[in-house]
Amino acid sequence: MDVPKRKTPAISDLDPNMVSLVEAVNSFKEIKTVGNCGGHADHGPAQNPLGEWRIAFRLAADEHGSRAREFLAWLVNNDARRSGSKVQLEPAEQDAIAALILEELADDRRWDESFANSQDQLSKLAAKVRQDITDGRARDGGIDEL
């Protein structure tokens, strides 16, 4: 299912500091921006203050939209958070993306725990490999030779 068609405003009608972000988001056929604000020095109650950006978008209600949502979750979780950016998701997408972020964080914790709990096993395995090499039971080879 495609995102409903809307009249796209001319680039010249956008806040200048939002143009590259809107173009990047709209480059995904599954995502269409429906509103944006680049902040205003003298902002009113419904406007963002200067330095705060807002972008509203719609996702296709299909597998492609789900993948786009996963990408956005990754972006928010990994890139924006690390750069110190303040990211606020609109309620329509907030719950779905938050669930993906929480799932990603839980997966990261599981990997960390798995690695932490397997250090003895990994050390024993590494020692065995070193001994196999020393005893001549290992040989150089590529993945195709397995």
Q: What's the pLDDT tens digit per position in 125-134?
A: 899 988 988 9
Q: Where are the alpha helices (DSSP H) in 4-118?
A: 19-26, 63-74, 81-83, 91-117
How far from 140 is each of 84, 130, 143, CA to CA, in Å? 46, 13, 10
C-beta separation of 90 from 59 below 8 A: no
User: pLDDT digits over 41-82, tens only?
Assistant: 888 887 778 877 777 778 888 888 888 878 877 776 676 666
Instruction: Report which DSSP code applies to 20.
Output: H
Identify the residue with better confidence: 78 or 140. Answer: 140
Q: Is the dihedral of CA 123, 126, 128, 130 positive or negative?
A: negative
Instruction: Output the pLDDT for position 115.
Output: 83
Tokens of 129: 């490999």
Least confident of 23-37, 94-108, 130-144: 94-108
Asked whether residue 85 carries a pLDDT value surpassing 70, the answer given is: no
Domain ranges of the chain: 11-135
HSE-up of residue 79 (Cα within 13 Å, Cβ side): 6
Instruction: Output the pLDDT for position 127.
Output: 93
User: How far is 56 from 72, CA to CA, in rounded Å?
Assistant: 13
Asked whether residue 95 carries a pLDDT value surpassing 60, the answer given is: yes
Instruction: Output the pLDDT for position 128.
Output: 92
% of the chain surpassing 90 pLDDT: 3
Q: Which residues pair with 40 in a beta bridge?
A: 49
Asked whether residue 6 carries a pLDDT value surpassing 60, the answer given is: no
User: How far is 70 from 99, CA to CA, in rounded Å?
Assistant: 10
**Helix, strand or coil, per DSSP, at residue 139:** coil
Instruction: Output the pLDDT for position 51.
Output: 75
Identify the residue with better confidence: 80 or 138. Answer: 138
